[in-house]
Amino acid sequence: MKNVNELWLKRFRDYIKELSKYSRYILNDHIKFVLVFAFGGGAYYYQQFLKTMSPNFPAELVISILFSLLVSTGQVMTFFKGPDLLYLLPLEKRMKVYFIRSYITSYMAQIYLLLIFLGIAYPIYKKFLLGETTSFIIFILIIFLLKGYHLFISFVHTSNKGILNWGFDYCVRFLSTFFFLFSLLNKWYSLIILLPILLLATYAILIQTISLNKRVQWERNVKLDTTRLSNFYRFANMFTDVPSIQQQVKRRRWADPLINKIKTNNAANYLLIRTFIRNGNYLSMFIRQLLVGAFVIYLVPTFVGKLIIGFIFLYLIGIQNMTILKQYNYHLLWKIYPYTNVGNRKSISTLLYILLIICTLVFSIIALIMLKSIVSFALIVIVYTLFSVWFIKFYVRKRLNQPQQL
């Protein structure tokens, strides 16, 4: 590379190219249809929720906590790679422009998420008379400034060795921001509002002073960037083959009794069960989606709404786990087993049946508790079961029979 600017531009273009390459498989027609459906349903039920909100709803507290979390989290994408530990180390003193451009790019990327949540919070802001439209615009500008502040402090904290403990750093910034936003929304005295501002400013000066003449934490930054990209690869692997994916395996000793009780002579089943339980992605994501789906079904008041939400989460869980064996397509040792693709597809179908049956039972029990109707419970079980059978026998089989080339 001729200079640092050219290096950053190449890294940024490579990163965007990598995201674009897999995004066209993630945002396929099926996912777009589900997203449109989910957005429409979510907007409708959010509108109904606003109409039934109690006047005693703690709007100031909820908005303060939400945006304190949003502005306090997030890190700068430096686009570093493993070899940079060796080759960029001599250029450390010339990397200031590189870091500035990375900071600006990361800030602009994270602003989009803030805009989405600001749009969601605006109806609550108006309903509880926290201010007029003009004051909300000022509130948006304050949120943007706070995001820039926290992103800068987070970058200084993670980029320079010898700064304060990460947990302490995050707590100080989060609590100060929360107190500032809460006092601002409650229209407290100006002197009280100024206290957290002074604390944040003092903390920023302290962090900058401590970080002077400190070396860049190359290992830390490389780890953050590689982890971020690996998470995206694992997500994209649910929709297509990702040859460069690096799986993380967790021991999970608590699952040993369960695994040992499962007897099978099929190599694909043997590997599949252990991959699902001990892979760092599949089991944890399944549990999260199951709990979130159950919670949303609990909140939605109508029978049709619960049915639709269940369809969406059954589809997402099925999509997530249908490609579980594809990560071994590029594993040489896997090729030595004398099992055909047909046998592998049967193993995947068996796993999906088990997972979707668990989801069907959990979602149906939640619906029964809320609707208090045996007929509705039976209908939901039947419809979810029929959907699961259709999804596995037709959709999954078609997707597995059509390998995608990148």
Residue 141 reports pLDDT greater than 90: yes
Print the domain residue range for 319: 243-400
Q: How far apart are CA 252 and CA 256, in angstroms?
A: 7
Same domain? For 217 and 249 the reply is: no
- Amino acid at position 288, single letter: R
For the chain, give the mean pLDDT.
80
Q: Confirm whether 130 is domain-assigned.
A: yes
* 103 in any annotated domain: yes
Same-domain status, 260 and 201:
no
- Spatial separation of the C-alpha atoms in residues 352 and 359, rounded to whole Å: 10
Residues 266 and 339 in one domain: yes
Q: How many domains does the chain have?
A: 2
Report the pLDDT averaged over residues 272-291. Answer: 78
What is the model's pLDDT at position 210?
75
Tens digit of each residue's pLDDT (9 = 90 or more) over 153-182? 888 876 665 556 677 888 888 999 999 998
Of the chain, the percentage scoring pLDDT greater than 90 comes to 12
Return the pLDDT at 404: 46
Residue closest to 182 by CA, chosen among 73, 71, 59: 59
C-alpha distances (whole Å) from 367 to each of 90, 182, 296, 372 are 62, 36, 11, 8
Q: Residue 272: which H helix or E strand, with range?
A: helix 267-278
Rg of the chain on CA atoms, in Å: 25
Do 260 and 146 share a domain, yes or no? no
Among the candidates 201, 228, 255, a domain finishes at 228
Judged against a pLDDT cut of 80, whether residue 398 lies above it is answered with no
pLDDT at residue 405 greater than cutoff 50:
no
Residue of 204 and 236 predicted with greater confidence = 204
Q: Are residues 259 and 219 in the same domain?
A: no
Q: Give the span between the Cα atoms of 124 and 145, in whole angstroms.
A: 22
User: CA distances (Å), 27 to each of 32, 108, 234, in order?
Assistant: 6, 22, 15
Query: Would 11 be classed as within a structural domain?
Result: yes
- Give the confidence band of 360 by pLDDT, cuts at 50, 70, 90: very high
- 235 in a structural domain: no
How far apart are alpha carbons 130 and 185 in whole angstroms? Answer: 6
**pTM for this predicted structure:** 0.69
Same domain for 201 and 306, yes or no, is no
Over the stretch 25-65, which tens digit does the pLDDT of each residue have? Answer: 777 666 777 778 778 877 887 888 888 888 888 888 989 99
Higher per-residue confidence, 148 vs 285: 148
